[in-house]
Amino acid sequence: MADEVKEFLNYINLDIEIQVFVTPINFSSLDRLVNALTSVKHERLLVLYCDNLIPSNVAQKLSTFSGNTFVVQKRTEGNISISEMGATYISPNRSSKTKYVELGYFLISRCEVMNNYEINLSLVSLLILISKRTPFLWLEIEEYYSLSNFEQALLSNKNSKILYLDRDGIICSKPPSRTYVLDKFSYQLEEKNINGLTELAKNGYLFVVCTNQPAVGLGLISTEQLKDIHRSICLELIKKKVHILNFATCEHSWVDECQCRKPKPGLLLESKLQFKMLSKSSKPIYIGDQMSDREAAESAGFQPILVNNSTLEDAFDSILDAVDIIQANNYVEK
């Protein structure tokens, strides 16, 4: 996982420096924090848990606070006591006697952490110890999402729109018939289509790819090698602010007679169900370049849009040429 995080950070453009520290698996959260602090010398620390999504303006608000500060939310049961003195972490366990929870997003001084650190002390125990001695400042927020699983991550994007795509001929150039992309160095992005996806992403679109990849079923590549190709595509598109939520893939060959290989609708039906919370239409759009894509889309209850196929009269030249139609979501065949 550490290597994947580093690879991801190498691809995204941020105005801040990010260092990745790798620790033994048996380290506690506090052990990992203290290990990082041996290299990070800043006195004020903003500590956050990676599976929590906090509104982006909260960090800006926290910059006005001068001391240790909890970000809290009101609940029916909590473990943070709020008084005129400040916010105190009462217990690791929640109780109806306290009405606030700490959201894993807090300001604390480096000295407080290092001076109170002991082996086998947990991060929560450290916060209890420090805040009982000197209560923290606190900032209450209402909007917050836990990203502890994929469904929660989707919920945090509930205002986004979703678009379904084929891979070869849409995101990547289509290989010649019965040849395949076998490694991450062998594909080429379809730039005009990618430009269209970039425009759509600016307007809140996220993307799901539904693609036949029989090279796996034919024994030419493994599932892991296919995932490596898709990971590489994702990282390239992230640089362009285009985010792929999933590659739904039929790995069977045509001789397997499965229900997921297009033009059968199984792959699209499964994806539509998985991402239904992001659908703004009962008939989402699927973009492909072949008649088999149209057939699968229509069978699965999608609106098909075909691009990049000069043999079809109603096909658009590229996704970029179809942006307005896609956003209107009222595509009618010519």
Q: Going along the chain, which residue ranges are E strands?
A: 44-48, 52-53, 69-74, 80-83, 86-89, 100-109, 137-140, 145-146, 161-165, 205-212, 244-250, 285-288, 303-306
Q: How far is residue 77's CA from residue 75's CA, in Å, rounded to a whole number?
A: 5
What's residue 333's pLDDT? 42
Inside any domain, residue 116: yes
Domain boundaries, position 20:
2-146
Residue pLDDT, tens place only, 154-165 = 877 877 899 999
What's residue 165's pLDDT? 97
| Domain end marker among 126, 146, 166 | 146
Q: Is the domain of 307 the same as that of 176?
A: yes
Question: With 50 as the cut, is the pLDDT of residue 332 above it?
Answer: no
Q: Is the domain of 168 the same as that of 138?
A: no
What's residue 1's pLDDT? 65
Residue pLDDT, tens place only, 53-89 = 777 788 889 989 999 999 999 999 999 999 999 999 9
Q: Is the domain of 72 the same as that of 130?
A: yes
Measured in whole angstroms, the distance separating CA 90 from the mean position of its chain's CA atoms is 33
Q: Is the domain of 133 the same as that of 241?
A: no
Q: Which residues pair with 213 in a beta bridge?
A: none
Enter the tokens of residue 59. 């960090």
| Domain end marker among 116, 146, 176 | 146
Q: Is the domain of 142 the same as that of 161?
A: no
Q: Which of 45-59, 142-156, 200-214 has the lowest mean pLDDT?
A: 142-156
Enter the tokens of residue 284. 């989402």
**Per-residue pLDDT averaged across 134-152, rounded?**
85
What's residue 31's pLDDT? 95
Q: How far is residue 74's CA from residue 68's CA, in Å, rounded to a whole number?
A: 19
Inside any domain, residue 334: no
For the chain, the domain total comes to 2
Q: Which residues pair with 189 in a beta bridge?
A: 172
Q: How far is residue 289's CA from residue 123's CA, in Å, rounded to a whole number?
A: 53
Average pLDDT score, the chain: 90
Inside any domain, residue 218: yes
| Domain end marker among 146, 172, 188 | 146
Inside any domain, residue 125: yes
| Cis before 55 (ω within 30) | no
What's residue 298's pLDDT? 97
**Per-residue pLDDT averaged across 118-146, rounded?**
91
Inside any domain, residue 151: no
Q: Is the domain of 290 the same as that of 221?
A: yes
Inside any domain, residue 152: no
Q: Is the domain of 117 the same as that of 178?
A: no
Please, which pLDDT band fits residue 203 given cuts at 50, 70 and 90? Answer: very high
Residue 286 belongs to domain with CATH number: 3.40.50.1000
Q: Which of 92-106, 153-167, 265-279 has the lowest mean pLDDT?
A: 153-167
Active-site amino acid positions: 166, 168
The pTM assigned to this predicted structure is: 0.77
Q: How far is residue 92's CA from residue 80's CA, in Å, rounded to a whole number?
A: 10
Q: Is the domain of 49 the same as that of 168?
A: no
Backbone phi, then psi, for 275, in 5-degree steps? -115, 25
Inside any domain, residue 333: no
Is residue 114 within 8 A of residue 37, CB to CB? The reply is: yes
Q: Is the domain of 177 the same as that of 267?
A: yes
Q: Is the domain of 124 the same as that of 255?
A: no
Is residue 306 within 8 A of residue 294, CB to CB? The reply is: yes
Q: Which residues pair with 102 in a beta bridge?
A: 72
Inside any domain, residue 83: yes
Q: Is the domain of 78 the same as that of 115?
A: yes
**Per-residue pLDDT averaged across 195-223, rounded?**
96
Greatest C-alpha distance within the chain: 75
Q: Which of 51-65, 105-119, 127-141 has the lowest mean pLDDT?
A: 51-65
What's residue 11's pLDDT? 66
Q: Is the domain of 211 the same as that of 125?
A: no
N-terminal to C-terminal alpha carbon distance within the chain: 48
Question: With 70 as the cut, is the pLDDT of residue 330 above it?
Answer: no
Percent of the chain with pLDDT over 70: 96
